[in-house]
Structure formats: structure tokens, C-alpha cells
Amino acid sequence: MIGEELVRFSLLGIDVTLSRAKRDQDKLELSDIKVVNQETITYIKNLAKEDINRRISSVSRSSTEDLDSLKQCLDHNGIVVIPDFIPELLMKRVSPIIASVRDAIARFIQSDDSLVEEPTVLFQKGTAKLNGYQALSSHEKSVVQVRRGQDQGMVDIFNVDRWKQELGEVLRPYFEDPKILEIMRSDSEQVRARNLNLYVNSNVDQTRGFHVDSYSRQLKGFIYLEDCISLDDGPYTYVKGSHRPSAYTKLNKHVSSVLPNLTETPSVPLENILPVLAKKGSLVISDQGGSHRGFPQSNGHNRVVAVMNYK
């Protein structure tokens, strides 16, 4: 479609108005961003396994390392990975709980119901009752949100420990470990663990591209509850160092200013992209003010991650 753009100026004291064609087709669209994001996915898929492992190692630290080492890694890179965070023996307690969660979700999805309420949990498809993060996260019960449409295959469980108390008994002490809270502390500002949520992904082959949650420091902790050791599993993917202002930040803000969502960050330094491949029990602490995304899964692959918000 061709529109009209007016150009006004003064020539020899005479006001002149001209019109020139303005092509709407030159306007940046979200579909253009998806093309760029797909090229980034192709780049990651073509990385050698050794290269991926090297990138992960650059932000990985043992739980036995001193506090300064862990804190410095997070502050500098925007992310730190602790592979040996929860002992394997303790993770065995988690497996049957996750299995029961999956079974309950499967029964609900297969039913004709769009809303089911039980004493400690509410299941909903789409926005059958609750809509928006605030409503979901502040509800008195756990909320199992089965996404629809483009997000088919994604299930978010808010405040999962209100439903599965034993899961909270295992995970919360680790998320609330004083050492972890100290790693996250900024200057004199204390942080506290808030909502314990669960992400259950199955066969999710379309995911949002690189984005930020906001252009400010916002920390989350992720514990892998199942092995995520291949790109097919859909690992959490982060751009190292992108939490710090840079030319990429300026460019992405400018690009996103004409998009429906102001937090898209399609332009990232490719050499700093790291898909976090790790075994169950691994902890990822991430500054969501940096560029991140979920990697698309291959058919038949699943991923379950516990997520703690900190404020």
C-alpha cells in the first residue's frame, strides 16, 4: 500500500508543501524479526558440540567455589551455571512428583473441560478464568496454565508448591540458600525468593526469539528437573554479557520502538550465544535484563524446569 507523506519547507520566503509516496511495505513488522530469529537458530544448530561446550564452560562454576567467583561470573556475564547444585540422590525424589504432574496435565488436556478447580490447584486452558501474570501468580491456589494457539505445548504452573508441597520442600531450601541470595545481592540491596513456578514444555517447536524481560536488572533462578543435554530438548539460551548496555542495546531499542513489543532483541553478538545444556539438578542464575530465549524443541522431546523469581 502506498500512502502520502507531506514535506514542508520555505523557498525564497514562500511556504512550499510537497507530497511524496510513502510505502507501508518498508515498515518493519514482527514477521521480519522472526526471519532474523530463524537465521540465529540456524547458526546455533550449526555450532560444533565442542564450541557449545566451551561456551557453557565459560559461565559454569562449581557449588564449592568461593562466593566471589560465583558473584563475579554473574555480574560480568549476566549468567552463572552451577551443574552440581542439587545432589543426584535428592533429584530421585523429584522424578515421581514430576511424573504425577505430567499425568494430571495430560488428563486435563484430553478432557473437554476448559476449567477445573481442586482444593489446592486450578487448571485452565487459555484464559478460562485468570488472565495476566499478576492474576496467575497471586492466586490462592497453584494455577496450571495450558497455553493455546502459537504457544501450544507450553504449560506454566504458578506457585507449584501450593499443589505439590513435597516439591517445594525439596527445591525451596536450595533456591533460598544464603549463598545463592548473596550471589544475587547488588551492593546493599537484599534479594528474596518469591514465586516457585514450573515450566513444562513438550514438542514446542516455535518459541519467541531473543528478548529481555525489561531493560533493568531482574534475576531468576532455574533448576533443571530433567536432563536437557541436546538442542532437541529446548535448552534455555542466553547471550553472555547482554545485560550490560552496548551498541546492541541501542540498536534493539530502536528496532523494537516500532514493534508491538518493546523488548524484542533480534540483534545479538553471535559468538556470545550460549544454549545451556545441563543435567537435572543444575542451577542457572540469569539476569533477565539480558537477551534470552527458549530454544525450539524437536518432536518427542520434553523439558521441565523449576523457576524462582527473586526481588
| CATH code for position 197 | 2.60.120.620
pLDDT for the residue numbered 152: 76
Give all strands (DSSP E) within 203-272, no chain letters: 219-224, 236-239
Contact 80, 74 (CB under 8 A): yes
Q: Which amino acid is at 253?
A: K
Provide the residue range defining the domain that includes 246: 31-310
Q: Note the pLDDT of residue 311.
A: 84
Predicted TM-score (pTM) of the model is 0.89
The answer to whether residue 26 sits within a structural domain is no
Instruction: Quickly state the pLDDT bin for 151 (edges 50, 70, 90).
Output: confident
Using one digit for the tens of pLDDT, what is the confidence trace for 37-90? 999 999 999 999 999 999 999 999 999 999 999 999 999 999 999 998 999 999
123 close to 156: Cβ distance less than 8 angstroms:
no
- Using a 10 angstrom Cβ sphere, with 0-12 exposed, 13-18 middle and 19 or more buried, the burial of residue 61 is buried
Stronger pLDDT, 19 or 116, i.e. the higher one: 116
Average pLDDT over residues 216-224: 96
Across 292-310, average pLDDT = 95
CA distance 43 to 58: 19
In this structure, is residue 25 part of a structural domain?
A: no
Average confidence (pLDDT) over 153-176: 96
Number of DSSP helices (H) and strands (E) in the chain, helices first: 8, 14
Q: Is the pLDDT of residue 1 over 60?
A: no
* 138 DSSP 8-state letter: T
Average of per-residue pLDDT values in the chain: 92
Q: How confident is the model at residue 5 (pLDDT cuts 50, 70, 90)?
A: low
The band of 180, judged by pLDDT with boundaries at 50, 70 and 90, is very high
Q: Does the pLDDT value for residue 6 go beyond 80?
A: no
In the sheet that holds 121-125, the strands lie side by side as 79-82, 283-287, 219-224, 302-310, 193-202, 154-158, 142-146, 121-125, 115-117
Query: Would you state the pLDDT for residue 149?
Result: 72
User: How much is the average pLDDT of 6-35?
Assistant: 68
CA distances from 248 to 55, 73, 77, 210, 252 (A): 20, 21, 15, 12, 6
Tell me whether residue 162 is in a domain. yes
Domains contained in the chain, number: 1
**Beta strands in 33-137, from DSSP E residues, in sequence order:** 79-82, 115-117, 121-125
Report yes or no on 250 lying in a domain: yes
Residue 9 lies in a domain: no
Greater confidence, 138 or 2? 138
Determine, yes or no, domain membership for 285.
yes
What are 242-295's pLDDT values in tens digits? 999 999 999 999 999 999 889 999 999 999 999 999 999 999 999 999 999 999
What is the SS3 assignment for 26?
A: helix
Grid cell digits, residue 219:
534475576
Residue 50 included in any domain = yes
Cell of residue 202, nine digits: 513438550
* CA atoms of 156 and 275, how far apart (whole Å): 21
From the centroid of its chain, how far is CA 101? 21
